[in-house]
């Protein structure tokens, strides 16, 4: 077994696509990790904003969570519709583009791309942040840990969808399972105690109220809690990853993910109120997360607590995986429409879109490195992207149903219309609530991506138009090229190039630039080794031209001569035949070949279609 097969897995044939497809069991970890892990930070984000209200803030967590769950239900139902309508994978990009036009599609695409890059970075740094607060000695290695986990996730995904599903299955189910048990346990205790359970582990005393309740604070808490909804889009983008019947499997997967998420969110909110758990300030000493307080209060600090906390931590840092599952598919769709380089649309050795995968790893790795693995501040940025994409997708579905018509169209229009209205309103709320905190950055980057992709497609169109309609090949009257061989001396490499030049042309000129280190006089060698055999064979000998170079330039005199030759012989090609010494070891390559590369670049920049560059290699033997 070759090393690369061992590391990256055996290359898969395009025809093996079906064997790589997955069912709901693997689909939940792959497409659901982001949504599910939201249970770990969404309620916490909302509760943190309620801290200034002290114990009084607890009264608001249940209604806020209820509002979020309603929103989630709307989005869920409408994404089920989307999966049905776009069985080839209907992410927001596809739906918006097909129904609302190019610009809406690209807007959704830009928003989603930013959302995914942020999801990957924030997920990993949140997980590592939790780990570091549990084991402070790891603090100095925060960035390294983040990048290590990022690399691991990227690697697992490069091995293909099947391997990734297998890898992420255990932590996902452990997380849902243990947290679910903790919540049921807590609810049972609450019921048994008549609504006022006693915590097993002591809880911090709620701080005194610092502020009066204001509507704006509640809106902000809601906006923060909405981060729990990112990742819901994922399944609709990846319908084709599921095995047949893929639509049914995708819908089933989405349903299970959302049901689990709703149960977790509702349970957390309810128990937080029942136990009187208020969030603590992440910057303050003795900080504990809401989940840690809650599980400790319900179950005490035993083995169960630690298993549960470990699974939260694991799922948080692996939630980046959803971005890895979706970002490459999104890029594929965009590239297929010509807004990104074509490479993003082709699958790598394990049938995943490796280019998009690696691009995501590089982008979020750069973010993590730039922020030293502490990306808390980025959280503010990313609900905007997700909700903008939601809104465009919902609005697109409304148009879709209207176009389709039929008896049941009114149901779709109603549902998706409601979804569009609610998510659109949420975009505005989140944008307003988070604008100064950083949402303005998203609002700034989205147009950059948007116009960048438009420009790229325009560029590709321009190129296609310019090379299109070549017409029939003209074979009559093909003239042999004029060959120019740049030489620095008379050696085997030069001779090989000259010999090739003589094979393809009767008009060969060897050009030697006499700069500083002129060395031997070539003329005598030329007479003996080139002109004499040519005379003997009765053929025209290649001419030797020595160019002076008073300013010691090595390439300029040569390029000038080639361009003049091209000018003097319009309609005839000038072939520059470059002798090149090729090393058997790549690192030795650095010592040669720079000049050949530079010469080619210069000839391309300054020359026209008539100047052809030929590289004749002369391979060195290994020692």
List binders of a second copy among 549-608 (CB under 8 A). Answer: 550-552, 554, 573, 575, 581-582, 586, 588, 591-592, 600, 604-605, 607-608
Can you tell me whether residue 199 is helix, strand or coil? coil
- Which 464-493 residues touch a second copy, going by CB under 8 A? 466-476, 478-481, 490-493
- Please enumerate in sequence order all residues whose Cβ is within 8 A of that of 283, keeping only pairs 6 or more positions apart, or say none: none
CB contact at 8 A, 24 and 166 = no
Q: Could you tell me which residues come within 8 angstroms of residue 343 by beta carbon, excluding any fewer than 6 positions away? A: 335, 355
Question: Contacting a second copy (CB under 8 A), which of 462, 523, 543, 564?
Answer: 462
User: What tokens does 115 get?
Assistant: 């959302």
The least distance separating a second copy from the CB of residue 110, rounded to whole angstroms, comes to 19
Residue 141 is a binding residue for a second copy (CB under 8 A):
no
- Residue written as tokens 């957390």? 268
- Closest CB to a second copy among residues 5, 568: 5
Q: Which is nearer to a second copy, 444 or 474 (CB)?
A: 474
Distance CA 592, CA 37 (A): 53
Q: Minimum Å distance from CB 3 to a second copy?
A: 17
Looking at the Cβ atoms of 60 and 490, the one nearer to a second copy is 490
Question: Buried (b) or exposed (e) across 454-463, using 16+ Cβ within 10 A?
Answer: eebbeeeeee
**Phi, psi at residue 538, to the nearest 5°?**
70, 30
Q: Which two tokens stand for residue 41?
A: 């930070």
Q: How far apart are CA 396 and CA 412, in angstroms?
A: 11
* In the complex, least distance from residue 317 CB atom to a second copy, rounded to whole angstroms: 32
The helix (run of H) or strand (run of E) holding residue 403 is helix 376-404
Q: Does the protein bind a second copy through residue 616 (CB under 8 A)?
A: yes
Q: Is residue 532 a contact point for a second copy (CB under 8 A)?
A: yes
Q: Rounded to the nearest whole angstrom, what is the least distance from the CB of residue 116 to a second copy in the complex?
A: 23
Among 103, 139, 214, 346, binds a second copy (CB under 8 A): 346
> Which of 198/475 has CB closer to a second copy?
475
- DSSP of 472-526: S---TTPPPPEEEEE-SSSSHHHHHHHHHHHHH-S-EEEEEEE-S---S-HHHHH
DSSP summary character for residue 436? I
HSE-up of 243 (CA within 13 Å, CB side)?
Answer: 12
Contact 350, 160 (CB under 8 A): yes
Residues near a second copy (CB under 8 A), total: 87
Q: Quick one: which H or E segment has residue 546? A: strand 543-548
Sole window of 159-167, 274-282, 366-374, 496-504 interacting with a second copy (rule: CB under 8 A): 496-504
Q: Any residues with CB less than 8 A from the CB of 294 and at least 6 apart, and which?
A: 182, 186, 268, 271, 272, 275, 277
C-beta closer to a second copy: residue 89 or 127: 89
CB 102 → a second copy: shortest distance, Å? 20
List the interface residues with a second copy, window 322-341 (CB under 8 A). 341
Element (H, E) at 83: helix 58-85
Beta carbons within 10 angstroms of residue 315's beta carbon: 26
Tell me if 192 contacts a second copy by CB under 8 A: no
Nearest distance in Å: CB 422, a second copy: 39
* Contacting range for a second copy; rule: CB under 8 A; set: 33-41, 120-128, 424-432, 529-537: 529-537
- Would you say 171 or 579 has its CB closer to a second copy? 579
CA distances from 548 to 82, 359, 485, 527, 552 (A): 72, 49, 16, 20, 9
Q: Which residues, 11 to 30, sit near a second copy by CB under 8 A?
A: 11-15
The pattern of x and - marking residues 271 through 290 that bind a second copy according to CB under 8 A reads --------------------
DSSP secondary structure letter of residue 610: T
Interacting residues with a second copy between 442 and 461 (CB under 8 A):
456, 459
CB 203 within 8 A of CB 273: no
Nearer to a second copy among residue 187 and residue 620 (C-beta): 620
- Closest approach of Cβ 346 to a second copy, in Å? 5
* CA–CA distances in Å: residue 25 to residues 30, 505, 607: 9, 66, 59
Residue closer to a second copy by CB (options 170, 336) is 336
Please, what is the minimum distance in Å from the beta carbon of residue 343 to a second copy? 9
Considering the rule CB under 8 A, would residue 529 count as an interface residue with a second copy? yes
516 contributes a contact to a second copy by CB under 8 A:
yes
Q: How far is the CB of 591 from a second copy (least distance, A)?
A: 7
- Least distance in angstroms from the C-beta of 495 to a second copy: 4
Q: Does 6 bind a second copy (CB under 8 A)?
A: no
Which of residues 244 and 474 has its CB atom nearest to a second copy in the complex? 474
User: Residue 272 or residue 345: which is nearer to a second copy going by CB?
Assistant: 345
Does residue 202 bind a second copy (CB under 8 A)?
A: no
């Amino acid at each position: 077994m070759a090393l690369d097969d061992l590391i990256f897995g055996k290359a898969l044939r395009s025809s093996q696509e079906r064997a790589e497809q997955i069912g709901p069991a693997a689909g939940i970890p792959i497409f659901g990790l982001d949504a599910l892990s939201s249970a770990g930070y969404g309620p916490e984000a909302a509760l943190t904003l309620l801290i200034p209200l002290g114990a009084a803030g607890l009264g608001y967590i249940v209604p806020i969570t209820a509002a979020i769950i309603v929103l989630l239900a709307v989005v869920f139902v409408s994404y089920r519709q989307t999966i049905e309508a776009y069985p080839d994978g209907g992410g927001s990009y596809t739906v918006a583009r097909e129904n609302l036009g190019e610009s809406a599609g690209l807007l959704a695409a830009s928003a989603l791309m930013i959302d995914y890059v942020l999801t990957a970075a924030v997920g990993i740094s949140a997980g590592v942040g939790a780990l570091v607060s549990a084991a402070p000695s790891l603090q100095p290695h925060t960035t390294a840990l983040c990048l290590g986990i990022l690399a691991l996730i990227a690697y697992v995904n490069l091995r293909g969808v099947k391997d990734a599903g297998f890898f992420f299955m255990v932590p996902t189910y452990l997380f849902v399972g243990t947290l679910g048990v903790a919540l049921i346990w807590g609810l049972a205790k609450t019921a048994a105690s008549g609504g006022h359970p006693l915590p097993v582990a002591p809880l911090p005393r709620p701080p005194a109220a610092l502020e009066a309740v204001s509507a704006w604070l509640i809106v902000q808490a809601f906006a923060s809690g909405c981060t729990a909804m990112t990742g819901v889009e994922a399944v609709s983008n990846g319908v084709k990853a599921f095995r047949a019947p893929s639509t049914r499997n995708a819908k089933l997967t989405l349903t299970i993910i959302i049901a689990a998420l709703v149960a977790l969110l509702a349970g957390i909110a309810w128990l937080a109120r029942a136990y009187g758990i208020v969030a603590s300030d992440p910057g303050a000493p003795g900080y504990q997360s809401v989940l840690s307080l809650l599980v400790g209060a319900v179950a005490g600090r035993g083995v169960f607590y630690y298993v549960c906390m470990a699974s939260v931590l694991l799922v948080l840092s692996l939630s980046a995986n959803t971005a890895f599952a979706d970002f490459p598919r999104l890029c594929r769709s965009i590239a297929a429409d010509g807004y990104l380089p074509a490479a993003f649309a082709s699958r790598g050795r394990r049938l995943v879109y490796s280019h998009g995968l690696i691009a995501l790893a590089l982008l979020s790795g750069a973010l993590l490195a730039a922020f030293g693995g502490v990306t808390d501040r980025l959280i503010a940025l990313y609900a905007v992207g997700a909700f903008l994409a939601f809104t465009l997708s919902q609005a697109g579905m409304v148009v879709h149903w209207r176009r389709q018509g039929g008896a049941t169209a009114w149901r779709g229009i109603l549902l998706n219309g409601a979804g569009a209205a609610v998510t659109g309103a949420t975009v505005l709320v989140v944008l307003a609530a988070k604008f100064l905190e950083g949402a303005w950055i998203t609002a700034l980057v989205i147009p950059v991506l948007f116009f960048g992709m438009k420009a790229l497609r325009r560029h590709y169109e321009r190129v296609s138009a310019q090379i299109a309609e070549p017409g029939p090949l003209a074979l009559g009257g093909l003239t042999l090229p004029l060959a120019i061989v740049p030489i620095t001396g008379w050696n085997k490499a030069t001779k090989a190039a000259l010999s090739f030049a003589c094979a393809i042309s009767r008009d060969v000129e060897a050009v030697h630039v006499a700069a500083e280190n002129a060395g031997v006089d070539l003329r005598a060698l030329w007479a003996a080794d080139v002109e004499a055999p040519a005379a003997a064979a009765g053929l025209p000998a290649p001419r030797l031209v020595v160019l002076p170079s008073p300013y010691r330039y090595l390439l300029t005199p040569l390029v000038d001569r080639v361009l003049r030759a091209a000018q003097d012989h319009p309609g005839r090609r000038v072939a520059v035949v470059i002798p090149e010494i090729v090393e058997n070891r790549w690192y030795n390559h650095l010592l040669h070949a720079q000049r050949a590369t530079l010469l080619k670049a210069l000839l391309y920049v300054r020359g026209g279609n008539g100047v052809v560059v030929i590289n004749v290699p002369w391979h060195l033997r290994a020692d």
